[in-house]
Amino acid sequence: MRNSIWGSIQSYFSNANQWLLKTPGRSLDEAYAAAQKIREIENANFDGNRISEDHGNYGVSAQNYFQGELKKYLDIIKIRLAEFKLSSSVVRLSNSKITEIEVDENSNSLSNINIVDQPALILKKLQFIDETLNKYQNRESSKQSIVILPDSNQTRLSPTFSRLNGVVEDSEGAGLEARSISGKSGVLPRSILDTVDRIKRELNPDSEEEVMRNFRRSKVRTFTAVRFILILIIAPLLVQQMSKNFVIGPVVDHYRIGNEKVDIFINSELEEEALNELQKFEQRLRFEILIGRSEPKSDEEITEQVKEKATEIGEESQQVSSDAVKNIFADMTALLAFTLVIINSKRELEVVKSFIDQLVYGLSDSAKAFFIILLTDMFVGFHSPHGWEVVLESLSKHFGLPTDRNFIFLFIATFPVILDTIFKYWIFRYLNRASPSSVATYKNMNE
């Protein structure tokens, strides 16, 4: 029994040792295979050039695919090379001399035994990997992002441009430092540093080519951002309308319309509105008879007209109740569609964020102050409670819910206060750093 256990332990450690000894070669082979995949994409689709939008006449979707494949293989190379370096150091300590022999199993001849020059083979694979990586060694630094200069009203492209649907490019010789809006201030004023950077860019012989590249990126970024914003708006609306009219609507109408077991009124408020409308109709009818606008009628005739009006009001109320039920389920499908678009569009969200940052922070100081005052007065200002009241009542009718005045007043008393706090924190925390002059203009305009 002990021999069996000891043999199992020895076998386990032997297999582990063999796995460790093969780890450097296995990791290097996987990195080499990933580099070959990149080279295959370059040769097949970009005429042997690097994978970028400057080579190959492809649209945004195709560029997204190629950049996704490139990122995947570059990540594999990075991970496997790290694994190769770590495992190689361990193997050298435990077994400093490794030989590899290739044998043709289908032949017994010794002439078919091939002793592989392992160091030369490793060097050859590493050279091939380095040649591939050299084309993309500045890939991370070439993700440019829109950076707003806090002391000016201009925007510029920095060498850390965020991914544009996976489209990444080198900003060769750009010489611009990445600085975030909330970054730390240096010893010299930023205006002096900006002037020095501008002079460097103007003296750069490749400045015209760089400007054209940046313009193309900005154009694609703007197109992608606007298109994605339209998708975020149009897709949920289309899903909501199509599901309501072709899927949910017929099902709800089948169970509600003409079914005596189903209540005509979805809530008591709708019933009161119907009764008030019927009462006004009857009073108007009698009033017109009294003033001579209508011919005199008997009580039976008046009662018959009131019954017809009651039937008409009942059908309308039943349709309103059915529409409220349809709206609930249709809006749920629209929300689901919106969520799926958001989940499956992380790269587009990065582009939209960069586009909005450029749009917002690129405004002049007076324009920033104007929009801040407009938004704050609209949502948290003195007259905002009336707007919130209309919005909440409209939502209640949309979903067939009774209007709860206590809830509306509680919402108006709390939610605008929370929004006001968020606005003030944003102004203090971010805008005050990014554009102090905008904050000063806002305070002067607000006073």
Q: What does the pLDDT look like over 318-359, one tens digit per residue?
A: 889 899 999 999 999 999 999 999 998 888 888 888 888 888
Same domain, residue pair 32 and 122? yes
By the 10 Å C-beta count (0-12 exposed, 13-18 middle, 19+ buried), 144 is classed as buried
Same domain, residue pair 346 and 398? no
67-91, pLDDT tens digit by residue?
888 888 888 888 888 888 877 766 6
Q: What pLDDT sits at residue 22?
A: 77
Same domain, residue pair 324 and 371? no
CA–CA distance, 430 with 432 (Å, rounded to integer): 5
* Residue finishing a domain among 352, 381, 409: 352
In angstroms, the first-to-last Cα distance of the chain is 91
Same domain, residue pair 86 and 18? yes
Q: Is residue 408 part of a domain?
A: yes
Q: What pLDDT sits at residue 212?
A: 81
How many angstroms from the chain centroid is the CA of residue 338?
Answer: 11
Q: What pLDDT sits at residue 12?
A: 57
Most confident of 91-100, 147-156, 217-226, 333-342: 333-342
Which pLDDT band, with edges at 50, 70 and 90, does 185 fall under?
Answer: very low
CA–CA distance, 134 with 270 (Å, rounded to integer): 71
Same domain, residue pair 414 and 300? no
Percent above pLDDT 70 for the chain: 75
Q: What pLDDT sits at residue 125?
A: 86
Indicate the number of domains in the chain.
Answer: 3
**Do residues 235 and 341 make contact, with C-beta atoms less than 8 angstroms apart?**
yes
Q: Is residue 216 part of a domain?
A: no
Residue with tokens 């611009």: 176
DSSP 23-87: HHHHHHHHHHHHHHHHHHHHHHHSTTS-SSTTSS---HHHHHHHHHHHHHHHHHHHHHHHHHHHH
Most confident of 93-107, 127-141, 210-224, 345-359: 345-359
Taking alpha carbons only, the member of 228, 210, 104, 112 closest to residue 161 is 210
CA atoms within 13 A on the CB side of 216: 14
Mean of all residue pLDDT scores within the chain: 76
Q: What are phi and psi of 54, to 5 degrees?
A: -75, -15
Most confident of 148-162, 170-184, 273-287: 273-287
Q: Is residue 313 part of a domain?
A: yes
Q: Is residue 146 part of a domain?
A: no
Of the listed ranges 61-65, 133-137, 258-262, 321-325, the one predicted with least confidence: 258-262
Percent above pLDDT 90 for the chain: 18
Q: Is residue 214 part of a domain?
A: no
- Region 12-28: mean pLDDT is 71
What is the domain range of residue 260? 242-352
CA–CA distance, 310 with 74 (Å, rounded to integer): 73
Same domain, residue pair 248 and 308? yes
Same domain, residue pair 331 and 415? no
Q: Is residue 194 part of a domain?
A: no
Q: What pLDDT sits at residue 91?
A: 60
Same domain, residue pair 332 and 370? no
pLDDT surpasses 50 at 249: yes
* Residue finishing a domain among 293, 326, 352: 352
Which pLDDT band, with edges at 50, 70 and 90, does 369 fall under?
Answer: confident
Q: What pLDDT sits at residue 333?
A: 95
**Do residues 433 and 150 make contact, with C-beta atoms less than 8 angstroms apart?**
yes
Same domain, residue pair 38 and 100? yes
**Do residues 28 and 126 make contact, with C-beta atoms less than 8 angstroms apart?**
yes
405-438, pLDDT tens digit by residue?
899 999 998 998 898 899 888 888 877 877 788 8
Which pLDDT band, with edges at 50, 70 and 90, does 216 fall under?
Answer: confident
Q: Is residue 152 part of a domain?
A: no
Q: Is residue 122 part of a domain?
A: yes
Same domain, residue pair 8 and 116? yes
56-68, pLDDT tens digit by residue?
677 777 778 888 8
Q: What pLDDT sits at residue 175?
A: 37
Q: What pLDDT sits at residue 109?
A: 41
pLDDT surpasses 80 at 140: no
Same domain, residue pair 11 and 125? yes
What the block records as the tokens of 319 is 């349709």
* Residue finishing a domain among 331, 352, 373: 352
Q: What pLDDT sits at residue 295?
A: 87
**Do residues 129 and 32 make contact, with C-beta atoms less than 8 angstroms apart?**
yes
Same domain, residue pair 45 and 121? yes
**Do residues 100 and 122 make contact, with C-beta atoms less than 8 angstroms apart?**
no
Residues 6+ apart with CB under 8 A from 34: 73, 74, 76, 77, 80
- Region 146-159: mean pLDDT is 38
Of the listed ranges 225-234, 298-307, 373-382, 438-447, the one predicted with least confidence: 438-447
